[in-house]
Amino acid sequence: MSGGTWELHGLKLSYFTGKLEAWLRVRGLPFRFVEMDMAGFRACARATGVAQMPALRSPDGTWLTDTTAILRRLEAEAAGPALQPADPLAAFLSLFLEDAFDEWLWRPALYYRWAFTDDAQLMGRRIAATLMRDLPLPLALKAAVVRRRQQTVYLRQDGVTRTTAPSVAGLYLEMLDTLEPLLARRPFLFGSRPVAADFGLFGPMFRHFASDPTPSDLMRERAPSVLAWTARLWNTRPEGIAAAPLPETAPADLDPLLRLAVRDHLAEMDANAQAAARGLKRVRFHRGGVDWRLPVSPYRVQCLADLQAAFAALGTTERAGVLERLGPGAEVLARPVQPALPPGRRIRNRLWT
């Protein structure tokens, strides 16, 4: 890709914007941050074809969207230190965790932001003052509209009820307890250099859990090593990892984390894909001791298909290694790859967080 300055369009409080911003900083690509307002959001939607953030404009004017696709493309084409293991098995497990952190931790991140009064009031006002700054309405009215909209879309319409809320809240605590000993032992998830899994985890941890009042209090008390990792990744620059070797394997102590992701994330992805294949609008499954009923997500159908395609591309030995590391439930990855969705449907169906 050509040299020059990139433009990152998003919000400073956005889950996926933070993920991409950290990757650009660690990779050392020069970029200018452009905080969206509503007019800018619409302009980016016209340029990329989908209404979501962030959007990335390359120095040659090409527009990119979807952080997972962006990271994979730039890893292959842009200058800077490699941020993915060279070993195929470790690389696949890193991509699997990136996908899980993107989609699995989304619900608790949004729950902690919008289900608690202090968090919802703070973040509603911040979104109103930034994204909606070009709308000529009173700030208090815009903030109230934001809170109502977010609580409807990201709580009630995403299956969060009085019955399921304890499971959503508990996932964050379980994740902190699982991550804390790992990140107390080494700088990043796989070793001394961050990989795709770190950036997937960074999205919810940095912009939500470590920043919003309620979850940040929990992180400071329960998982100080996770908090330190969040600051460490944000502060990492190319020269800081120049001498650090790429991880050659996925450390064995990642297995509890991997198996949690299979238990919850992969099982939900499979149920979602099966419901979509039957033409259903909603997916039902049982997890965490409760029954869930959610809208079918076309984007997650594509996520599973992409993981299945990456798994199929591995050699026989690596495929066996993945199934062994992930444990029961991982056989979903070995199923035939579903047909790819048209590009217009590859959207998370989310505007801002």
Residue range 296-324, pLDDT digits in tens: 999 999 999 999 999 999 999 999 999 99
Task: Outline where DSSP puts E strands in 52-135.
Answer: 55-57, 63-65
Q: What is the pLDDT of residue 341?
A: 56
How are beta strands 63-65 and 55-57 bridged, if at all? antiparallel
pLDDT at 65 exceeding the cut of 80 = yes
pLDDT band at 225 (very low <50, low <70, confident <90, very high): very high
Express each pLDDT in 129-143 by its tens digit.
999 999 999 999 999
Average pLDDT for the chain: 93
pLDDT tens for each residue of 264-282: 999 999 999 999 999 999 9
- Among 164, 128, 163, residue whose Cα is nearest residue 147: 128
pLDDT band at 62 (very low <50, low <70, confident <90, very high): very high
Measured distance CA(210)–CA(10) in Å, rounded: 19
Q: Please give the average per-residue pLDDT across 104-108, as a whole number.
A: 95
For residue 188, is pLDDT > 80? yes
Average pLDDT over residues 57-78: 93
- One DSSP character per residue, 253-298 reads GGHHHHHHHIIIIIHHHHHHHHHHHTT-SEEEEEETTEEEEEE--H
Distance of alpha carbon 58 from the chain centroid: 22
% of the chain with per-residue pLDDT over 90: 89
Q: Where are the domains of the chain?
A: 1-80, 116-154, 253-345
Please tell me the pTM assigned to this model. Answer: 0.94
Q: CATH for 1-80, among 3.30.9.30, 2.60.40.10, 3.40.30.10, 1.10.10.10?
A: 3.40.30.10
Angle between helices 106-114 and 117-130 (to 10 degrees): 100
Q: How much is the average pLDDT of 22-40?
A: 96
User: Could you tell me the pLDDT band of residue 342, with boundaries at 50, 70 and 90?
Assistant: low
Does the pLDDT of residue 349 top 50, yes or no? no
Question: What is the pLDDT at residue 332?
Answer: 96
Over the stretch 154-177, which tens digit does the pLDDT of each residue have? Answer: 999 999 999 999 999 999 999 999
